[in-house]
Copies of this chain bind each other. A is one copy, B any other.
Amino acid sequence: MNSVRVNLGSRSYDIALTSGDSKSVGAFVRAGLPKTTTALVVGDSNTQLHGRVLETALIASGFRTAFAPVPAGEPSKCLEQLSALYDALYGLAADRQTCVVAVGGGVIGDLAGFAAATYNRGLPLVMVPTSLLAMVDSSVGGKTGINHPKGKNLIGAFHQPAGVWIDLALLTTLPEREYLSGLAEVVKYGVILDSDFFSYLEANTRAVRERQPEVLLHVVGRCCRLKADVVEKDEYETTGLRAVLNYGHTFAHGFETLAGYGTLLHGEAVAIGMTCAATLAERLGLVGADFVSRQTDLLVALGLPTAPGHSYPTEELISVMRRDKKAVGGQMRFILPTRLGEVKLFDDVPEPLVRAVLQSH
């Protein structure tokens, strides 16, 4: 079994990379959490079947379990669903060792993770990501949370999982559009941290789109390692290092908010946002036109959008972007490429340039 170690002192954990081996999840949980006897498995309507299989495996390994179903979709990252998970934990007579097992995409991971972070002031959490985005991004790094009616992920806590169990076979049921959306974050890792990985993706677009198992294993494993490297250096997003992961995200946040959640998938917005960021970097003279086109070509080859399908009022986009929580004191901040495989934080980008980039897309 392949695995990636996330080194965070007493909060270190393993990301197991498996394929179709649910039976071993019990041993994995027990190795990380020797004192745990009960587990709450959380899944949504689309991941429920995967969740039930895992639950059965946990029961076979001697855990007492319950299953908490959550409606699929972003609106479930809310206080009401959080409250329902608290009720489920109470119903299970959860103690401080009870483990929350999040089986789903980023929505389930964020919601169940936040419930784990805040029930009894912190329960152990095992992430079982089922979407590509969750495998390469949301399940690693300890960010959990829900949305505020006025802003995405505005409520949350850092809470590292006790382990991440990735079963690549679960991706077979993931709808095409969701899969492609996850590829945007995959491309992001190449751009911000690893030009070799970017080249690997360029050379394997077809195999990636076809979800070929050995390519998936390499892609997911590499993304987890790259994200873990960043998280290890800036666990709580205080040194600024972790901010590199936000490449394309300030723009994406604007498009996602104005489109209304659900219209644009997160990865689609990130693909568009990365294109805006690359254009901005080019106008600032940080990279050449070749950089922008290489990134655009790869995104397009992977079936991702590079411009919003719809035109949004620039002033509204700017106003949302200024309220982005990465902003400090109303000042927009951008992570921009300086070459393939390297990005830096810029907090003094002239607003007219940002406007111009938004108007050109």
Contact = CB atoms under 8 A, between A and B. Distances in A.
A93 interface: yes
Interface stretch (A160-168, A180-188, A248-256, A323-331): A323-331
Contact of A90 (B119, B120, B145, B151): B151
A327 B96 CA distance: 8
- Do most interface residues of chain A lie in helix, strand or loop, or is the interface mixed? mixed
Interface residues of A, number: 36
A156 interface: yes
Nearest to A331: B95
Nearest to A323: B93
A148 B156 CA distance: 18
A135 interface: no
A158 B95 contact: no
Given A96-B325, A325-B96, A143 B121 contact: yes
A97 B328 contact: yes
Given A118-B118, A121-B143, A121-B145, A155 B325 contact: no
A114 B155 CA distance: 11
A207 interface: no
Contact of A158 (B119, B122, B327, B329): B122
Interface in A82-121: 82-83, 86-87, 90, 93, 95-97, 114, 117-121
